[in-house]
Structure 1
Amino acid sequence: MPLREHLLELRRRVVLATIGLLVGAVVGWFLYDPVIAVLQEPVLRLEREGLVALNFAGVATSFDLKVKVSLFLGVLLSSPWWILQLWLFVTPGLTRRERRSAVAFLAGSVPLFLAGAWLAWRVLPNAVRLLTEFTPDEATNLIDAQLYLSFVMRVVLAFGIAFLLPVVMVGLNLAGLVRGSTWLHGWRWAVVLVMTFAAFATPTPDVVTMFVVALPMLALYLVAVGVCVLHDRRDDARRGALTAEADTTPIDR
């Protein structure tokens, strides 16, 4: 496919993904009240203990926050749609057989994204408590609501996207851009990067929490590597069979 057609296809997929995100944001607007109550819960637990207080600093802060939370919900609710657009951008260059072999892995991409978001939510209460424990005695930590909820949404989305990396790995492999052996040989870097991400994403003093975050990501990396290696072996075998058949075919004179 020429470069111009690639760019047009990319623009088309981005537009469709954006439309889906906006539709999800409209739905998120009406889900704001119950969701904001859930997002505030880690701070409200500490507020009941008299340690912190959630502060809305400006007149328009509550409206601005509702818009941001709605967009955040739009990303979550429309995740099947924009992940599909990402995949459709990659798959035009694949054969029908390669698309069928990737359906099962693609079907797991949405649960993977949601699982990463759920894991982030599970570790957030401990992170909030740890970070607020540095507040001096006889003082109250006035947490800006906008900054706090922006922090929560960034962490949730970061975890969700991190759990999507195996899908990207398989997509690049099926597109013929990266071989499975390349992913396999880079396992040391993968371990370092995953452990670094887990260390920064879980600012808690215990190592157990860090490993709870890192181990699922490493397991997903290994599964993706296995899928890529199996695909490369089948592809090499198929090409070898076609080459052998072409060599044994008599040439008409």
Structure 2
Amino acid sequence: MALALRKRGPSKFQQAADGSMTLMEHVRDLRNRLFRASLAIVVGFGVGIWLADKVRVLLSKPYCDLPQAIDPGTGVCKFVQLGVADVFLLNLKIGLWVGLIIAAPVWLYQLWAFIAPGLHKHERRYAYVFTSLAAPLFAAGAVLAFFVTTKGLEFLLNISGPDIATTLEVTRYISFVTNLILLFGVAFEFPLIVLMLNFVGIASAKRLLSWWRVAVFVFFAFSAVVTPTPDPFGMTALAICLCALYFAAVGVAFINDKRRGRGKEIYAGVGDDEVSPLDTTPEPVEAGARVEASDPIDAPEPITAPTPIERRYDDMT
């Protein structure tokens, strides 16, 4: 006995993509996706609270690995707590950050599922590529920030000398490390902006390469301003990495231009201030087709005279 299979209707993604979803259905879909994303963040926050102490110890490692951070009497790395609830609030903050990272696959998917139907197919393909590159670049920036923190603290603590005992306040230190990780991670996303300019056709690879002097200067100036430590290690490391990523992005742009055939257009070698070449080869002009005479037009009909205006009204009324 054959069973008839029920034909499934279009999915919500297809309905949103083809415009058949109503405004209220869009609002309900947004509400459902916000609820799922919030639920995932709450679950991740609970896991982050459980891991807060371990994460705080991990973030304290660049400072605790230095000999100046060890207490001579106890041999333990110690921090200062100025407020009674500082460590508790710090654990909540760390738990929230860890929860956002753990729940990132869920809330990023919900955000993407709501935005993606409004994009074209090639735009969604580019989004997949840029998203797959963003996470490794951010992780590389975080690792570099950890290295810079270690070298920067070693440089700064050696300046104080052996006659000065240095003990860091725990909340300010953790904020310093997390801000540095966030700053370096965001800075490492700059090559994606360069690739985006090339992929959408705003700047070619040759033009991007011609800007390398300006780019190197901007990278070193940016690193000198945003690096929180005054030591030269962090500024130089960030600037060199940004320069390497920029030239790597330009290399990918050259491959993309070659794949798309850019630079082979008819006016590709003509500068903006040059006259474009014109083809002045004469072409023979053929005789046009014979035009038949049109039929004569009938005489217009006589126009009837307008009725006289009543004299009790003027021309306006």
Question: Is 1:39 aligned to residue 59 of structure 2?
Answer: yes
**Larger relative contact order (Cα-Cα within 8 Å, sequence gap ≥ 6):** 1
CA gap 1:79/1:228 in 2 versus in 1, 3 angstroms:
farther
Instruction: Give, in angstroms, the shift of residue 38 of structure 1.
Output: 1.3
State the shift of 1:225 in Å: 3.1
SS in 2 for 1:55: coil
What corresponds to 1:246 in structure 2? none
Q: Is the 8 A contact 1:72 1:153 kept in 2?
A: no
Offset at 1:116?
Answer: 0.8
Q: Are the counterparts in 1 of residues 48 and 95 from structure 2 also a CA contact under 8 Å?
A: yes
Per the TM alignment, residue 151 of structure 1 is displaced from its structure 2 partner at its CA by 0.4
Once the two structures are TM-superposed, the CA of residue 107 in structure 1 deviates from its matched residue by 1.8
Within 5 Å, which residues of 2 pair with 1:94-173? 94-96=120-122, 99-100=124-125, 103-135=128-160, 137-171=162-196, 173=198
The partner residue of 2:70 within 48, 58, 64 is 48
CA distance in 2, matches of 1:81, 1:132: 42
Distance 2:35 2:244 in 1: 32
Relative to 1, partners in 2 of residues 1:172 and 1:34: Cα closer, same or farther, differing over 3 Å?
A: same
Shift of 1:169: 3.5
1:179 equivalent in structure 2: 203
Distance 1:173 1:59 in 2: 53
Flag the structure with higher helix content. 1
Separation in 1, partners of 2:118, 2:212? 29
Contact 2:62 2:146 in 1 (8 A): no
Shift of residue 65, structure 1, vs aligned partner: 0.6
Secondary structure of the residue aligned to 1:59 is coil
Read off the aligned partner of 2:169 and give its amino acid letter. D
TM, length-normalised to structure 2: 0.56
1:17 Cα deviation from its structure 2 partner? 11
User: 1:62 is matched with which residue: 59, 73, 87?
Assistant: 87
Contact 2:69 2:166 in 1 (8 A): no
Identical amino acids, percent of aligned pairs: 29
TM-aligned CA distance change 1:40 to 1:166, over 3 Å: same
Could you say which residue in structure 1 is the equivalent of 2:3? none
Report how far residue 227 of structure 1 moved. Answer: 3.6
Q: Which residue of 1 aligns with 2:50?
A: 30
Higher alpha-carbon deviation: 145-154 or 101-110: 101-110
Tell me the distance in 1 between the aligned counterparts of 2:35 and 2:196.
Answer: 20
**Equivalent of residue 227 in structure 2, options 192, 195, 201:** 201
Higher Cα Rg: structure 1 or 2? 2
User: C-alpha distance in 2, partners of 1:175/1:92?
Assistant: 17
Taking only aligned residues, the RMSD between alpha carbons, in angstroms, comes to: 4.1
Asked if 1 retains the 8 angstrom alpha-carbon contact of 2:184 and 2:238, the reply is no
Give the count of matched residue pairs: 227
- What is aligned with 1:245? none
Gaps of 5+ in 2: 1-22, 266-317
